Amino acid sequence: MDTPSSSTPVTLEDVARRAGVSPSTASRALNGSSRKVRGEYQVRVHAAAVELGYIANTAAQAVARGRSEHLAMVVNGINDDYFSPVAAGVLKAAEAADRMVTMISSRNSAQQAAQVVSALRSQRPRAIILAGGRSVASTRWEERLVEELAAFQEEGGRVVAISEEGMPFDTVSLDNVAAAADLAGAMAGLGYRRVTILGGPADARTAHDRVRGFVAGLAEHGVEVPPSEVLHCGFDRDGGYSAAGECLRRRVPAELVLAISDTVAVGAIARFREAGMSLPADMAVAGIDDVTVLRDVAPALTTVRLPWPEAGRAALDLALRPTEAEPRLVRMTGHVVLRESTPGIGGG
């Protein structure tokens, strides 16, 4: 009790000795074995275990069994604000399934992701969940990443990607293109014609898809967006802020700014306000994601609700299901939520 790190963890053998049985029996009694143990021994072993405060050594179990039951997740480039919903969804589902999940963040690059997956593999987890952040071009590192993942799967592991349709693994896909197109369509329906797109990083897959959706959705309603009206910027609040500044410098200001995400939209709003504009009177703004904490702010932001937490849960479900021959695809779609920030033009 005095010196630190003095005691040593109690092992299964300790329990067995205490209960007066063999380690084999103790093992069978304490964990779900196919073999049965006589009732009397059963209770004696359990009693000994609680008396001694025995906690099974998962590492040892993993090596004896050849594979652990843990789950691993790589979060690609956590954004302080934004990392939450999908990770929270996964964690909550894991809680319900009584699992632990090991998280590791990769600095947003596929190179890191490959290394990180390799590190994860060393844990021999049951499944690896990959969240977000591929880039547009299929780089050499992307290939490495896929290879690494494929090797893992080859060894009996499960791989689930979130939001990354196109990988040869089980995938939970949030249809970014459709979400953006729906929103754009709705905006066109409200009468907006001159729109500027805050497009996020040029090389991020998600950003790219959303921009594509915006453009397509508007085009469908006869609204063309000249390439000069697609502004690239960071994927966060500051990105939106500075891109909005750029926007202000245009001769003919837009009627509507379509931001690639709510966070970017918030940054833009801040910049517009700073310039003395009154929202939504002077400028309409919409985003994508429907970040919860933003639902109540003024002007309430028009957005597309994307079921991120549900996607996390779905990913975990897939991860827990046994591998099948064909990669499965769970597709989730968002729906447009009209709020005050886009009152519309014709009707106003």
At CA 54, angle to CA 50 and CA 57, rounded to 5? 150
Among DNA, its own copies, none, what binds residue 4 when CB lies within 5 to 8 Å by partner kind?
Answer: its own copies
Residues between 6 and 45 with contacts to its own copies, criterion CB under 8 A:
6-9
Residue 12 interacting with DNA (CB under 7 A): yes
> Cα separation of 198 and 258, whole Å?
6
Stretch binding DNA (CB under 7 A), from 19-27, 109-117, 159-167, 221-229: 19-27
At CA 162, angle to CA 136 and CA 209, rounded to 5? 35
Stretch binding its own copies (CB under 8 A), from 33-41, 84-92, 176-184, 185-193: 84-92
CB neighbour class for 100 (10 Å; exposed up to 12, middle 13-18, buried from 19): middle
Residues between 45 and 74 with contacts to DNA, criterion CB under 7 A:
54, 56-57, 60-61, 63-66
Among DNA, its own copies, none, what binds residue 202 when CB lies within 5 to 8 Å by partner kind?
Answer: none
Number of other CB atoms surrounding residue 59 within 10 Å? 10
Q: What is the DSSP letter of 161?
A: E
Residue 292 interacting with its own copies (CB under 8 A): yes
Residue 329 interacting with its own copies (CB under 8 A): no
Residue 269 interacting with its own copies (CB under 8 A): yes
Distance (Å) of CA 292 to CA 82, 190, 289, 343: 11, 24, 9, 21
Residue 21 interacting with DNA (CB under 7 A): yes
Residue 33 interacting with DNA (CB under 7 A): yes
Is residue 25 classed as helix, strand or coil in its secondary structure? helix
Residue 84 interacting with its own copies (CB under 8 A): yes
Q: 198: closest CA among 165, 251, 163, 237?
A: 237
Residue 137 interacting with its own copies (CB under 8 A): no
Residue 270 interacting with its own copies (CB under 8 A): yes
Q: Is 228 left (phi over 0), alpha (psi -120 to 50) or beta?
A: alpha
Q: Which one of 17, 46, 92, 193 is in contact with its own copies (CB under 8 A)?
A: 92
Q: Which one of 43, 47, 60, 275 is in contact with its own copies (CB under 8 A)?
A: 60
Residue 332 interacting with its own copies (CB under 8 A): no
Q: Which one of 1, 3, 7, 35 is in contact with DNA (CB under 7 A)?
A: 35
Q: Is 93 left (phi over 0), alpha (psi -120 to 50) or beta?
A: alpha
**Tokens describing residue 49:** 């275990």
Site of interaction with DNA (CB under 7 A) = 8-9, 11-13, 21-25, 27-28, 30-31, 33, 35-38, 41, 54, 56-57, 60-61, 63-66
